[in-house]
Amino acid sequence: MCQKLLADARLYAFLLECDKEMAAEAKAAGCECGGVLHVADFPRKARGGPANLGPEHDRRLSFCCNQDGCRGRVTPPSVRFLGRKVYLGAVVVRVSAMLNGPTRRRVAELRELLGISERTLRRWSAWWRATFAATPFWKAAAGRFAPPAPTIDALPHSLLERFGGDARDHLVAALRFLSPITITRSMCDMTA
């Protein structure tokens, strides 16, 4: 099921449309200084998606203020990219959720399907349980779930379970929920 979902180009097309909607809202709001925002997308070489994704999937939507003296960058939240991680957000969330510790068989399957090493899988597991769980974002957001809150030891699986629908719906809802961490480094260090 996981492989089928992550190989579906329609999922990534939908996520791109979600990003475009959030980008349109950010552009309409303009810069804090009152300036007009111009397109200033930047390249991302995201890994893990289907081979048939077009070049538009390798761009992080962003803007730059037109006012001299400001020239500030405004990068809206994203459901496609999970901070600075090189793998697509859908891959990081879904693959991390299916792991109860990477077994040799799972690692071999994931390496074959997505090119993910055992070291990367272990780093993602540690990131969810230590780095992400300690962020101000998670501490505030976890309380918004009806008891019991998603358990840290089972993140992100316990987070996905909190959303309704099928596996695709769970994943999209979780990516929307996580989108605030894609724009503010102080909320969550995404370098791991």
Beta-strand pair 63-65/59-60: unpaired
> Is 7 part of any domain?
yes
- Give 87's strand partners: 47
> Is 139 part of any domain?
yes
| pLDDT score of 190 | 42
| Residue 135 neighbours by CB under 8 Å, 6+ apart | 181, 187, 188, 189
User: Collapsing DSSP states into helix, strand and coil, what is residue 172?
Assistant: helix
Instruction: Find the helix packing angle between 89-98 and 9-29, rounded to 10°.
Output: 130
Considering the chain, what percentage of its residues have pLDDT values greater than 90? 56
> Is 190 part of any domain?
no
Q: Tokens for 39, please give them.
A: 């397109």
Give the pLDDT mean for 164-176: 94
| pLDDT score of 101 | 54
Mean pLDDT score of the chain, rounded to an integer?
87
Considering the chain, what percentage of its residues have pLDDT values greater than 70? 93
Give the pLDDT mean for 156-182: 93
Q: Write out the residue range of the structural domain in which residue 106 sits.
A: 2-182
| pLDDT score of 84 | 83
> Is 19 part of any domain?
yes
Residue 191: pLDDT band (50, 70, 90) is very low
> Is 88 part of any domain?
yes
**Total domain count, the chain:** 1
> Is 162 part of any domain?
yes
pLDDT tens for 28-83 read 999 999 999 999 999 998 888 888 899 999 999 999 999 999 988 999 999 999 98
Is a pLDDT exceeding 70 seen at residue 100?
Answer: no
Give the pLDDT mean for 156-165: 91
Residue 184: pLDDT band (50, 70, 90) is low
Is a pLDDT exceeding 50 seen at residue 185?
Answer: no
Give the pLDDT mean for 173-192: 71
> Is 135 part of any domain?
yes
| pLDDT score of 51 | 84
For residue 92, give the nearest of 59, 69, 114, 63 by alpha carbon: 114
> Is 142 part of any domain?
yes
